[in-house]
């Protein structure tokens, strides 16, 4: 394993504390957990260049909107360490901005980095870029810890009402692997568990990339009871009273409260609405897009490769990771990575500032207009 992670993180792998991204010294490299190897193997990678960062984002070695933004910020910092010219800064921002278009945290982080650096001389940019990227990383951890503190009240209320473990359904992975630390949707769950509030999590497998396996891996490591279920099981569970609330993360939330998240989220929201189950999206401030008015036409939905649908990976009988083709290469495949859940199906947006209705008036009141920008600083 390449590097010793910081000891300040509450998240652990075995008996060691980890963040999903960390550094040992200014200038790099940046160390990440290679999420394409999980849950079968835990491996870290050192990223030492702009191209290495871009590849890690595209290949989903790092994933989750908050973590994508933070990783991109360090990509700018690594680029500035090699060439701090105006041309290099513009190239790095463009290269990283094209990697995963749906995650608004990416554009937010790049805008913040450019705002911090463009007024500086080339000689000043490298240390300033590193300082700014590290600040973004530390802020992300703090924001997500705060989301958890506010979200615990939801789980505490459900437990008090029913006198049994709270059953939460979540989709995709919105835990600490998707952020720098704590996670968004999982932060309230981790903190409730740590406080002794009994929680059980229904974990959607989240095909085609099966990010639910990452959620199950995180929950197992934290000792949280959970059950992995097929993506289409959620509605059935809700019909039979086995889900008390749904909490998901998001890659983008509009000012009107519409939620763009992993494909399949919309179907969970429809089922929740039909069965009277509260549906919440947990997001830090940088995930709110103040500019898009029409979510369906304005949010770019990433279309990923056909292989993700046609091929599954897992362990064979000898413990080796193998790829198995489940559909012929001639089969036409569509693979949209995200969908949009309209605000009318969202019970509330959980942020570091608290829980609020998924309405434009509520979000605008929460964040004064003069602070609504992609370079918003918390």
Paired tokens of 136: 């973004």
Beta bridge partners of 13: 16
- B/e letters for 105-123, b = 16+ CB within 10 Å, e = fewer, are bbbbbbbbbbebbeebeee
**H or E segment and range at residue 109:** helix 104-117
Instruction: State both tokens at 161.
Output: 């009402």
Q: Are 158 and 244 in contact (CB under 8 A)?
A: yes
Q: Which residues pair with 128 in a beta bridge?
A: none
In whole angstroms, how large is the CA radius of gyration of the chain?
A: 20
- Cα gap 32→253, rounded to integer Å: 26
Active site residue 251: yes
* 139 contacts 131 by C-beta, under 8 angstroms: no
Q: How many residues does the chain have?
A: 378
Residue of 181, 204, 244, 251 marked active site? 251
- The backbone torsions φ and ψ at residue 204, rounded to the nearest 5 degrees and listed phi first, read -65, 135
Of 156, 124, 179, 182, the closest CA to residue 244 belongs to: 156
- Count the helix, strand and coil residues of the chain and give each as a percent rounded to the nearest 5: 40, 20, 40
Place of tokens 């506010």: 150
> Tokens standing for 84?
């701090």
Nearest to 130 by CA among 29, 8, 6: 29
Catalytic residue annotation: 251
């Amino acid at each position: 394993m390449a590097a010793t992670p910081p000891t300040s993180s509450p998240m652990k792998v075995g008996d060691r504390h980890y963040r999903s991204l960390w550094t040992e010294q200014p200038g790099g490299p940046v160390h990440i957990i290679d999420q394409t190897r999980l849950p079968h193997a835990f491996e870290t990678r050192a990223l030492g260049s702009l191209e290495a960062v871009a590849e890690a984002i595209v290949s989903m070695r790092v994933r989750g909107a908050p973590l994508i933004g933070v990783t991109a910020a360090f990509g700018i910092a690594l680029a500035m360490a090699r060439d701090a010219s105006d041309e290099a800064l513009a190239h790095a921002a463009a290269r990283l901005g094209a990697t995963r278009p749906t995650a608004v945290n990416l554009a937010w982080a790049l805008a913040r980095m450019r705002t911090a650096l463009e007024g500086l001389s080339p000689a000043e940019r490298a240390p300033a870029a590193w300082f700014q990227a590290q600040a973004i990383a530390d802020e992300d951890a703090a924001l997500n810890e705060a989301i958890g503190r506010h979200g615990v009240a939801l789980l505490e209320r459900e437990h008090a009402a029913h006198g049994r473990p709270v059953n939460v359904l979540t989709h995709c992975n919105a835990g600490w692997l998707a952020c720098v630390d704590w996670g968004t949707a999982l932060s309230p769950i981790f903190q409730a568990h740590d406080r002794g509030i009994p929680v059980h999590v229904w974990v959607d497998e989240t095909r085609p990339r099966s990010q639910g396996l990452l959620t199950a891996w995180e929950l197992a490591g934290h000792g949280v009871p959970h059950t992995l279920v097929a993506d289409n099981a959620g509605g059935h569970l809700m019909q039979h009273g086995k889900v008390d609330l749904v909490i998901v993360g998001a890659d983008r939330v509009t000012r009107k409260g519409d939620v763009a998240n992993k494909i399949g989220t919309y179907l969970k929201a429809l089922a929740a609405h039909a069965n009277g189950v509260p549906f919440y999206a947990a997001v830090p401030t940088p995930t709110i897009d103040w500019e898009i008015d029409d979510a369906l036409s304005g949010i770019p939905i990433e279309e990923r490769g056909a292989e993700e649908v046609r091929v599954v990976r897992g362990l064979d009988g000898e413990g080796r990771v193998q790829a198995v083709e489940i559909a012929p290469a001639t089969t036409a495949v569509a693979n949209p990575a995200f969908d949009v859940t309209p605000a009318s199906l969202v019970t509330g947006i959980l942020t570091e500032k608290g829980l609020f209705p998924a309405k434009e008036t509520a979000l605008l009141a929460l964040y004064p207009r003069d602070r609504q920008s992609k370079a918003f600083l918390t």
